[in-house]
């Protein structure tokens, strides 16, 4: 399924009527990956609603958006799960999900759960100067990094923003030569060394599998 990387609320899947149905409320930046996992496992009882991916740049808005989506849709589902990690909400999303009685992804952000939270925690102390990109962010680099920071208008600000970084780590969910080349180009634009790391879907896949079996 070809998904647009837009900022709209979308829902995919079969009708929510009937028993045993599960709803995933997710960050739009994870839509392709979630749908890949669903398709690979043949889960016909799972629906997906994606909140605007641009919330990635506005973590202060995530908790309210998730809360509103849960209230709006939970009545049609047996279970609702939130496919966000903390994502810069400072624990507010975790508290809201606990109050709502819904589970969410473990970890500080998607970079961590794609790599595997345990592996990322072990590695992170040695990568404090790394800037991470996922498949989505490689595709949407201009919309989510370059333009929001004003670098399209003021490229001289690059060193102010990225002067303390030493490398760009591309966490590859898929094996795509074109994406790797694009990620290398982004690293060059930022003046950073480049590292490609094949993470696959990491804890996203294992967490979704656990939720799907309930």
Name the strand (E) or helix (H) holding 10: strand 10-12
Give the tokens for residue 98.
Answer: 């606990």
80 within 8 A of 86, measured Cβ to Cβ: no
Which pLDDT band holds residue 9 (cuts at 50, 70, 90)? very low
Whether residue 167 has pLDDT greater than 80: yes
Residue range 10-111+201-212, CATH number: 3.40.50
What global pTM score does this model have?
Answer: 0.89
* Percentage with pLDDT > 90 across the chain: 87
Type and span of the H or E element at 156: none
pLDDT in tens, 11-21: 444 444 456 89
Angle at 59 between CA 56 and CA 60, to 5 degrees: 150
Question: Each residue of 25-81: pLDDT tens digit?
Answer: 999 999 999 999 999 999 999 999 999 999 999 999 999 999 999 999 999 999 999
pLDDT at 111 over 50: yes
CA atoms within 13 Å, Cβ hemisphere of 89: 22
Domain-wise residue ranges, the chain: 10-111+201-212, 117-198
| Residues 137-154: tens digit of each pLDDT | 999 999 999 999 999 999
> What's the pLDDT score for residue 174?
98
| Residue 2 pLDDT greater than 60, yes or no | no
Query: Strand 167-172 vs strand 130-133: parallel, antiparallel, or unpaired?
Result: parallel
pLDDT value at 87 more than 70: yes
């Amino acid at each position: 399924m070809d998904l647009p990387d837009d900022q709209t609320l979308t829902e995919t899947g079969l009708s929510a009527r009937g028993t045993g149905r599960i709803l995933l409320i997710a960050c739009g930046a994870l839509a392709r990956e979630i749908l890949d996992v669903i398709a690979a496992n043949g889960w016909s009882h799972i629906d997906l609603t994606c909140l605007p991916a641009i919330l990635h740049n506005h973590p202060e808005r995530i908790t309210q958006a998730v809360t509103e989506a849960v209230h709006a849709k939970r009545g049609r589902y047996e279970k609702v799960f939130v496919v966000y990690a903390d994502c810069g909400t400072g624990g507010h999303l975790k508290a809201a999900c606990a109050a709502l009685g819904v589970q969410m992804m473990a970890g500080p952000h998607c970079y961590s759960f794609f790599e595997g939270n345990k592996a990322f925690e072990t590695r992170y102390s040695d990568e404090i100067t790394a800037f991470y990109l996922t498949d989505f962010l490689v595709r949407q680099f201009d919309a989510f990094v370059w333009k929001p920071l004003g670098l399209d208008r003021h490229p001289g600000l690059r060193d102010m923003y990225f002067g303390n970084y030493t490398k760009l780590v591309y966490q590859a969910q898929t094996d795509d030569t074109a994406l790797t080349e694009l990620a290398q180009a982004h690293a060059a634009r930022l003046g950073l060394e480049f590292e490609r790391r094949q993470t696959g879907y990491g804890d996203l896949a294992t967490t979704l599998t656990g939720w799907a079996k309930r």
